[in-house]
């Protein structure tokens, strides 16, 4: 009788552990429809039309800045491409160029990180439109012990780091860290 009660207790505890799903905060998915915000490790192609000496590729440093000719350090972190283009044009108008026309494009996005039960965990290049499943394929696919239905993603949203468990069909963003958990059975 005591063994039966112990077995039921173990099964109930195991089922309770499996139901540890936490729905991601609403901000987690809202970022997918918002304009892309620039951050460290993004490489930007900035073109000042008619000014070949100013047009170049710039990498956002760890502190969130780029060093732009004539105007010096420019804060990039958290800005959209259009906001950055407007800011650079505004600074160039202050004594350098009469009416600068500036364009900002993302040359390459900051990397994603894939950890856990995949063949080759590590840092990978982000490609626009990538899903969790695409990212895992880039890392060589699931290991034999991987839980393949959903993964945990760590994402920075408005300067705050949040976590969420999502299905593998969900889209990802540059800078995401994907963690593939081990399955129990």
Residue-wise DSSP of 152-179: EEEEEETTEEEEEEEETTSB--TT-EEE
Question: Average pLDDT, stretch 128-144?
Answer: 96
Tell whether the model's pLDDT for residue 17 goes beyond 50. no
- Domain finish residue from 108, 138, 165: 108
Same-domain pairing of 102 and 116: no
How many helices, marked H, and strands, marked E, lie in the chain?
4, 10
Contact (Cβ atoms closer than 8 angstroms) between residue 85 and residue 104: yes
3-state secondary structure at position 111: coil
Number of domains in the chain: 2
Question: Measured between alpha carbons, how far is 132 from 170 in angstroms, rounded to an integer?
Answer: 6
Same-domain pairing of 129 and 102: no
Write the CATH number for 165. 3.10.560.10
Tell whether the model's pLDDT for residue 6 goes beyond 60. no
What pLDDT was estimated at residue 4?
Answer: 60
Same-domain pairing of 115 and 171: yes
**Placement of tokens 């160039």 in the chain:** 92
Q: Which domain holds residue 125?
A: 23-35+110-180
What pLDDT was estimated at residue 19?
Answer: 46
Question: Average pLDDT, stretch 134-149?
Answer: 96
Token code pair at residue 155? 């994402």
Same-domain pairing of 127 and 167: yes
Same-domain pairing of 72 and 126: no
**Chain centre distance of CA 103:** 23
Same-domain pairing of 115 and 30: yes
Instruction: Report pTM.
Output: 0.81
- Domain finish residue from 81, 108, 135: 108
What pLDDT was estimated at residue 20?
Answer: 52
What pLDDT was estimated at residue 5?
Answer: 52
Tell whether the model's pLDDT for residue 131 goes beyond 50. yes
Give strand ranges (E) for 30-129. Answer: 43-48, 56-59, 65-68, 72-75, 102-108, 112-116, 122-124
Work out the mean pLDDT of the chain and round it to a whole number: 88
**Placement of tokens 């494009």 in the chain:** 105
């Amino acid at each position: 009788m005591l063994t039966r009660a112990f077995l039921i207790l173990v099964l109930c505890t195991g089922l309770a552990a499996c139901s540890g799903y936490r729905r991601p905060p609403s901000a987690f998915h809202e970022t997918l429809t918002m304009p892309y915000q620039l951050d460290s490790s993004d490489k930007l192609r900035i073109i000042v039309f008619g000014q070949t000496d100013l047009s170049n590729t710039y990498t956002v440093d760890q502190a969130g800045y780029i060093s732009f000719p004539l105007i010096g350090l420019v804060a990039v972190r958290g800005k959209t491409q259009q906001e950055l283009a407007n800011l650079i044009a505004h600074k160039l108008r202050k004594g350098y160029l009469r009416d600068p026309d500036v364009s900002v494009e993302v040359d390459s996005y900051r990397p994603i990180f894939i950890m856990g039960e995949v063949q080759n965990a590590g840092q990978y290049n982000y490609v626009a439109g990538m899903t969790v499943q695409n990212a895992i394929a880039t890392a060589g696919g699931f290991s034999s012990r991987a839980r393949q239905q959903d993964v945990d993603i760590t994402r920075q949203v408005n300067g705050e780091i949040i976590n969420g468990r999502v299905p593998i069909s969900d889209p990802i963003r540059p800078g995401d860290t994907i963690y593939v958990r081990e399955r129990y059975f």
